[in-house]
Structure 1
């Protein structure tokens, strides 16, 4: 029994006329009659009662017709699913993101992706950039939303978002009374709170290099993995920090954000392993690249 036999059966069962069924199937009537007879012989039951004028389904034929329709529908569904999976419209995707992305574009991109691709099972986790790279290398993640990883063999990366840094000051700081831009050098005598280089070389070096460009080396007092911790300690009067502009959306108490003149900018990239063959990675990266540049959190 082949799928074509089921097509023959369904077409004849719907038309109850060998001539019309053969015409719809684009074959001649004698081969259709032979194939139906062979199918009945294989099953050992009669599917149709034939007279010179009429064709009727037997009781066995009625039941087999419904089963055949369900089988053919399942085959078509399997075809659509295979095509959809190959296009990245269904399947699963494992995504990692760094903490700062939670305050910029990650929530909006995740909402948009789950809306556009509801049949993709999305597993999302947070980690520092250094751990995200390790997970991508070892294929525990399909894609990461993170800082540019630098030149790394086997990694593909695409910038999907970029934003400036701002100064985070205690609310009682002498420079907290205005919304005008300041220069980073205005903070040269302050204690700096900064992200650990081991956790994020890109972000750490961006801050240090900008301060050096401004003519000073920051006096670091505290290092941590997460910017939200920096913001918390700034609010407690333990120092100042340069953070993503989008961190303003965290609405911390006792913290004043001031824009910087000629601020350094940080990039947020979609990063994946070049060996990754998951088509859902492509659909996610394409959507992130389209949506990310339209967003301006923290403005």
Structure 2
């Protein structure tokens, strides 16, 4: 059986055309080198070298074999680089789920940065409801989720990517449009459009508890799964909503976003299963933190 070392012996002899110098370069003695070359020729069924007392020359078959083995060694070196990249998380596959609302905050920046830093990673992004994201991580159908912090983090690792204030979104002609900052007590009696608790418990609870802390019991008119749909329905005059500040990036002409007094803050986190050993997770988390830090700085200066 031909081994990689036999090809290395052959290529060294082909480059030196001298058994003594080739043996010296290979750190072996000349007789074993001669035997290995003879065995290689026997295995191939062709003569690779013309030998005489004065010189060694490649045959036509030897010249062709030298060219082709160069391709073999180049492929082997590439295979080593690929294996090292995969071990370091710089190559491979990564499945990431994200909430649609983060498409208006950190997900685009994270995706751009990671794709630029690690072009050899096949990154699959899927928009998913918060309800399903933690389950997808636990089941292993996704490697990482970008979401609000799950209630049950057992078996999971999390890192905060982004914090943003909540803001109130008002429809056209609303009585509070003239105010620069909205006191939550002024929202008493309003019809709220809110995400159902079973879909996004962290977001639902922040909104509900904020109102209760200021003496307001939200009058829930509509429960809607997606934040962008909530903002659209506010624009249609179906109620008001408290949403993450990044939803301002929808830039709807029919809605107005106003800051809240003592506004609550919602966290967006990266979540992954603690026993998921995909090395691309570590590189993704590091890149995501870098992109999120930049997004936070831009938010503060906006």
Question: Shorter-chain TM-score: which interval?
Answer: over 0.9
In the alignment, the residues of structure 1 paired with residue 21 and residue 183 of structure 2 have an alpha-carbon distance, to the nearest angstrom, of: 84
In the alignment, the residues of structure 2 paired with residue 254 and residue 63 of structure 1 have an alpha-carbon distance, to the nearest angstrom, of: 73
CA contact (8 A) 1:136 1:273 kept: yes
Q: Which position in structure 1 is the counterpart of 2:133?
A: 132
Give the SS at the match of 1:295: helix
Q: Deviations over 1:55-76 (max 9, x none)?
A: 1101121122122222222222
Q: Which position in structure 2 is the counterpart of 1:268?
A: 268
Give the SS at the match of 1:32: helix
Q: Which position in structure 2 is the counterpart of 1:193?
A: 193
Q: Deviations over 1:111-139 (max 9, x none)?
A: 11111111111111111111111211211
Q: Which position in structure 2 is the counterpart of 1:58?
A: 59
Matched, 1:277 2:277: yes
User: Which stretch of the first structure deviates more once superposed, 103-112 or 26-35?
Assistant: 26-35
CA contact (8 A) 1:163 1:267 kept: yes
Give the SS at the match of 1:85: helix
CA contact (8 A) 2:6 2:36 kept: yes
Give the SS at the match of 2:126: strand
In the alignment, the residues of structure 1 paired with residue 254 and residue 192 of structure 2 have an alpha-carbon distance, to the nearest angstrom, of: 17
Q: Which position in structure 1 is the counterpart of 2:155?
A: 154
In the alignment, the residues of structure 2 paired with residue 215 and residue 19 of structure 1 have an alpha-carbon distance, to the nearest angstrom, of: 93
CA contact (8 A) 1:182 1:258 kept: yes
Q: Which position in structure 2 is the counterpart of 1:121?
A: 122
In the alignment, the residues of structure 2 paired with residue 151 and residue 137 of structure 1 have an alpha-carbon distance, to the nearest angstrom, of: 11
In the alignment, the residues of structure 2 paired with residue 170 and residue 45 of structure 1 have an alpha-carbon distance, to the nearest angstrom, of: 85
CA contact (8 A) 1:148 1:267 kept: yes
User: Which structure 2 segments of 5+ residues have no match?
Assistant: none
Matched, 1:100 2:105: no
CA contact (8 A) 2:184 2:216 kept: no
Q: Deviations over 1:119-177 (max 9, x none)?
A: 11111111111111121121111111000012332211111111110110113112212
In the alignment, the residues of structure 1 paired with residue 21 and residue 246 of structure 2 have an alpha-carbon distance, to the nearest angstrom, of: 68
Q: Which position in structure 2 is the counterpart of 1:246?
A: 246
In the alignment, the residues of structure 2 paired with residue 294 and residue 260 of structure 1 have an alpha-carbon distance, to the nearest angstrom, of: 24
Q: Which position in structure 1 is the counterpart of 2:207?
A: 207
Q: Deviations over 1:229-259 (max 9, x none)?
A: 1111111122111111110111012211111
The two structures have a TM-score, normalised by structure 1, of 0.94
Give the SS at the match of 2:7: helix
User: Which structure 1 segments of 5+ residues have no match?
Assistant: none
Give the SS at the match of 2:194: strand
Q: What is the aligned residue count? A: 298
The two structures have a TM-score, normalised by structure 2, of 0.93
Runs of 4+ in 1 over 4 A off after TM superposition: none
CA contact (8 A) 1:166 1:257 kept: yes
Matched, 1:79 2:80: yes
In the alignment, the residues of structure 2 paired with residue 130 and residue 94 of structure 1 have an alpha-carbon distance, to the nearest angstrom, of: 17
CA contact (8 A) 2:163 2:267 kept: yes
User: Which stretch of the first structure deviates more once superposed, 258-267 or 11-20?
Assistant: 11-20
CA contact (8 A) 2:187 2:216 kept: no
**1:215 to partner: Cα distance:** 1.7
CA contact (8 A) 2:151 2:201 kept: no
